Amino acid sequence: MWARTRIVMMLAALSGLPAGAMADDMALRELQQAVDHAQRSLDGTASRLALLVAEYDAGALEEPSSTAAPAAGESVPAGAGKVPAAGGVVTRHQFTSDVAVREPVDRLERISAAAGRVFYFTELSGLEGQRIRHRWLYRGEVMAEVPFEVRGPRWRVKSSKNLLPEWQGEWTVEVVDEAGRVLARDRLQVDAPAG
């Protein structure tokens, strides 16, 4: 908060505007960005819901209660995510360069190690009271496990990994439930820094 106040004061001094007016203008812009982001998120959610309804009506989706969780060692396809876990599902999961207003800003399948950091975003539904983990693997070796307590009927979580330049190749994040079942899995290719 102190750093933001200093920035507002410096910008106000440079622009000749009173600091209060500058802070109000910045707050208004941040609010507008949040509203714009929320609208894009709602539009995307409505589109995804319409697609799921159409797939269900066409018989392409099974009832959630009839979808079995993957057996031990069984692979979950990248991008798959409707695996139920004790009555709940992983509704969204993806690598992203950042998370703003609790939403991923993009979807990554490939990134340069020069980016320095990558996030993994997950949205969970119906898993309240459970403990879910993001398991980060590099070339098949577990590098980190980040646990989350799910505290609501719809819960969004993120974890991140700082990328070292030598960590090139395939990274995988698995969403794992309390029983050790892999509910979702995504892969990310980390390329060498340019130059």
Same domain, 46 and 82: no
User: Following DSSP, what letter does each residue of 156-190 receive, concatenated?
Assistant: EEEEEEEPPTT--EEEEEEEE-TT--EEEEEEEEE
Same domain, 14 and 100: no
- Residue 29 has what pLDDT? 72
Same domain, 83 and 179: yes
Per the CB < 8 A criterion, the answer to whether 146 and 119 are in contact is: no
Same domain, 187 and 91: yes
pLDDT tens-digit readout, 50-89: 555 555 554 444 333 223 334 334 444 444 444 445 568 9
Same domain, 177 and 122: yes
Same domain, 101 and 182: yes
Task: Supply the pTM of this predicted model.
Answer: 0.58
Residue 64 placed within a domain: no
- Residue 3 has what pLDDT? 55
Structural domains in the chain (count): 2
Residue 111 placed within a domain: yes
**Structural domain of 157:** 78-191
- Residue 1 has what pLDDT? 52
- Residue 176 has what pLDDT? 97
- Residue 137 has what pLDDT? 97
Same domain, 40 and 128: no
Residue 163, judged by CB atoms within 10 A of its CB (0-12, 13-18, 19+), counts as: buried
Same domain, 45 and 91: no
**Packing angle of the helix pair 19-57, 2-15 (nearest 10 deg):** 120
- Residue 80 has what pLDDT? 46
Same domain, 102 and 15: no
Look at the block and give the residue holding tokens 């794992």: 176
pLDDT tens-digit readout, 17-34: 665 665 566 666 775 676
Enumerate residue ranges in the chain where pLDDT < 70.
1-28, 31-32, 34-87
CATH number at residue 155: 2.60.40.1930
